[in-house]
Chains A and B, each alone.
Chain A
Amino acid sequence: MINLRRMEENVKQVFKVSTSIIFLQRELEGMLKSIRSNKINFQEGNIPKAVFESMERQMKKFSVDLIKKTNKLIEKDLKLIDSIAEGISSQKIKVEAEAEEAETKKEKKVEPKPKKVSEVKEKKVETKSEELKALERIAEKIKVETKPEDLKVPTGV
């Protein structure tokens, strides 16, 4: 049976981590905007080069940190999503495999034991000897019933 409590807990965790991702992404977006406006300010001559460069360096460093944090959270989120998927897929019932297994078991029960080669050979020999015996009996009968005179071909026709 599916564990609803665990499922709910995992979904809550995903929600929590994903919400943090959303906040970080918003922060990063803001930072990128600031980097762009800093550049425009410098191009318009509103701020000196030294200030522009120092601010840009700081903001870029902060952006990289944000990206790293976001990626870490994404990894965490993916693991949680994987465990949800695992929890769901483990509930699958193998219908065909079970049926096939049952079928093979049935077949195994019904299947007669294969005869040994020696057994088959013995039987063949038996039938042969019986046939021979019968033939011998017939031949004996013919011998008794047939006189040597009967075998003579009439001549002088």
Chain B
Amino acid sequence: MTIKKLSKNELEKFSKETIKNSFGIKLLQEQLKDVEEQIKLSNSEYNLGRVSENDYKDLKAELENERKKFVERLNKKIEGSLEDVNKFHSFVESLKMKS
């Protein structure tokens, strides 16, 4: 009978990567929140008549584009992290033995 072993290196790698990825996700979420705040601010500035329509449109388009980019990056990061977690999940599952 051979045992498929879980190595300490693998476990450490998984733990470090998961924590690192979670921080990465958090950072992107914070940046996305900033952009969304800016969008809200530009909307209220326009509603108060402090910004011309053209300037507002340009700024809004720019900010929306930035928001879209952050969302894409965030989703990509989440996908990558999930892939790592799922890989580790399958590995741990393969460690099960028949008694």
Known: A4-B22, A14-B15, A91-B74. A28 touches B85 (CB 8 A): no
The reply to whether the CB of B6 lies closer than 8 angstroms to some CB of chain A is: yes
Please tell me if the beta carbons of B26 and A1 are within 8 angstroms of each other in the complex: yes
Report the minimum CB–CB distance from A16 to chain B (whole Å).
Answer: 10
The reply to whether the CB of B50 lies closer than 8 angstroms to some CB of chain A is: no
Size category, A interface: 20 to 34
The reply to whether the CB of A59 lies closer than 8 angstroms to some CB of chain B is: no
Please tell me if the beta carbons of A71 and B96 are within 8 angstroms of each other in the complex: yes
Please tell me if the beta carbons of A25 and B25 are within 8 angstroms of each other in the complex: no
Please tell me if the beta carbons of B6 and A2 are within 8 angstroms of each other in the complex: no
Known: A81-B92, A85-B85. A2 touches B75 (CB 8 A): no
Report the minimum CB–CB distance from A88 to chain B (whole Å).
Answer: 5
Q: Main secondary structure on chain B at its contact with chain A?
A: helix
Interface residues of A (CB under 8 A from B): 1-2, 4, 7-8, 11, 14-15, 18-19, 21-22, 25, 28-29, 32, 64, 67-68, 70-71, 74, 77-78, 81-82, 84-85, 88-89, 91-93, 95
Interface residues of B (CB under 8 A from A): 1, 3, 5-8, 11, 14-15, 18-19, 21-23, 25-26, 29, 68, 71-72, 74-75, 78, 81-82, 85-86, 88-89, 92-93, 95-99
Q: 10 more A-B contacts (CB under 8 A) besides A32-B1, A95-B75?
A: A11-B18, A14-B15, A25-B6, A68-B99, A71-B97, A81-B85, A85-B86, A85-B89, A89-B78, A92-B75
